Chain A
Amino acid sequence: MIENDTARKLTVLVCIWAALVLAPYWMPPLGGYTALGTRVLILGLAAMSVNFLLGFTGVLSFGHAAYFGLGAYGAGLSLKYLAPSTPISLLMGMLLGGLAGAILGTLIVRRRGVYFAMVTIAFGQVFYYIAFQWSSLTGGDDGLRGFSRQPLDFGFFSIDILSNANNFYFFVLVCFALIAAVMGFILRSPFGRTMLAIRENERRARFLGIPVERHIWIAFTLSCFFMGFAGALYALLNNFADPRGLHFSQSGDFVMMAVMGGMRSFWGPLLGAAVFVVLQDYLSSVTVNWMSFVGLLFVLVVLFFPRGLLGVVRRKLVS
């Protein structure tokens, strides 16, 4: 039985990675385009970062777009003013998102439940207003322009990720794999198990002597670092950083991706992101009222599929 289980897990894992690695080859014939695949990967990574907190620590952050957007602005500003280097811009984006999360996290972690959600939403909006008002630095409402991702330079050879969409996709895939591995590693570590314990029963975890606040703060900060990294990748994808990427409606989209795919599973948010991005891309091309349909999707998922796609599948397998 246990061997069966590991075998199945391994098959699933192989399938996921095969699909991801071969995406630039099977997507275009199905009517997609490579940049869409790259967007799915990046937003999927962001949704997985949200889920790191939501699904595995059990605290509801509804303001994570702020750290995503900060990552995007960090990467853009770094490319524009600091150094024309892709790795440095990724690092700067990740640092900006993560450090902002670490600082605000100290104010946020003492709250729980709906109060936690409200405080995260409100603090998330701070950065939206800053990006909106400080137009000399951020470009205000028009967004930050005037930078582009740079070729990866390894000294003796360099890879062009700017004009070749496939190359950029593979670059993003490598980054994605790296972060996903780190996330998986943390979740398997004793610290990750503690996160699950807090999710399942905070009071009992506290009685066991676990410093709950500190653990939630660490989880929050880590997820903000991941978020900043995803945001930096997003800025590189679009060669553009948008204040709307910081807005709380973007946070809602991330949470929705996580819920739609399946909060309790590691890969669920990626699946949710794929469905969400493709659906949004399709809807906005066929109707001007796509907002209503996305809203309706939210309502229907919450009322009828609260466990998400993978949750439903898993239930079928068990029964």
Chain B
Amino acid sequence: MLQLLLFNVTNGLIIGAFYVLMALGLSLILNLSNVINFAHGGFLVVGGYIAYTITPYVGFWGALLIAPPLTAVIGLAVERVMIRPLYGRDPLYSLLLTFGLAFILEDGSRFIWGAQGKPVTVPAILAQPLSNEFFFITGYRLFMVLVVVIAVSALFALLRFTRLGIRIRAGTLDLETVSALGVNVRTLRSLNFAAGIYLAGLSGVLAAGQLGLEPTMGAGLLMPSFIAIIVGGVGSLTGTLLGGLLIGVASGVTAVFLPAASEAIMYVLMAVVLLIRPRGLLGEEGMMT
């Protein structure tokens, strides 16, 4: 029993770490640009498929390095052409646009790579379990967590210590003032969007190694990221981090006792948080609009 519980808590943490990676990208874009990026799952899938395509040439490690920036470049182009004209308009429009974009990305991936699931081979070092007792912790899962930790630390360091990061944080609070102080807000938004899509691409590569690839997988992974943001509180990246881990563990633990409800528990958690603390765990009062 204890081992089973441990297994599922660990499992939940690992899944939670994955949600965090995806949700942070969404959260970045949402906080600065007020855009709910419905196509985030689509970008994740594209990132995974790019990794799949270039793995034969550059290996898994090469793909891990190259695929996310390539995805970010696609994201940058999309932002430039489609999303930039919508800043300042009702958020409804960017929501609808990225919603349509998600359709295009999913169908496009199916068109290029086929509807059949594609396996992605992971280096042998990562594929084996750590020990007999902890058979469930394969090297790859630990590796996933490690990558997430590195990526999240890098993101937080970037926001904390670099000029770009400080501008992004300032823009989240008051974009108008930042603009008045002479910062090019367009570039800021573009770079911020690209950073978010980079995280989506990275999630895609990691997911491809664990789950294999399917054109439809993005839509299924999107909803937990939404819940992570809502639970953590819109406007707070630390909140998103906390929210992602929390729903991961909650669904892991629930899987022990009531497997059918492991998905539903996330929604219950969200309802409870909204009931007790409507702005989310770490949400700012001012961010409610």
User: Which residue numbers of A lie inside 8 Å of B, CB to CB?
Assistant: 54, 60, 62, 107-108, 110-115, 117-119, 121-123, 125-126, 129-130, 133, 248-249, 252, 255-256, 259, 289, 291-292, 294-299, 301-303, 306
Contacts and interface: CB of A to CB of B under 8 A. Distances in A.
Interface string B26-69: 00001000111010000000000000000000000000000000
Nearest to A306: B93
Interface string B81-113: 010011001111111110111111011100100
Interface string B128-141: 00000000000000
A299 B278 contact: no
A294 B99 CA distance: 10
What range describes how many residues of B lie at the interface?
35 or more
Interface in B216-262: 219, 223, 226-227, 229-230, 234, 260
Contacts of B79: none
Given A111-B278, A133-B263, A133-B264, A299 B91 contact: no
A133 B254 CA distance: 15
B274 A107 contact: yes
A303 B82 contact: yes
B240 to A, nearest CB: 12
A111 B101 CA distance: 26
| 9 pairs of A and B residues whose beta carbons are closest in the complex | A298-B100, A295-B103, A295-B104, A291-B107, A295-B100, A292-B107, A302-B97, A126-B267, A252-B99
A130 B260 CA distance: 10
B289 A289 contact: no
A292 B108 contact: yes
B96 A297 contact: no
B197 interface: no
Given A112-B289, A302-B86, A302-B97, A54 B92 contact: yes
Nearest to B86: A302
Given A60-B95, A113-B34, 9 more contacts: A117-B91, A122-B270, A125-B267, A252-B38, A256-B99, A291-B106, A295-B100, A299-B104, A302-B100
Main secondary structure of the interface of A (DSSP, over half): helix
B147 interface: no
B275 A107 contact: yes
B127 interface: no
Contact of B230 (A110, A119, A256, A297): A119
B106 to A, nearest CB: 7
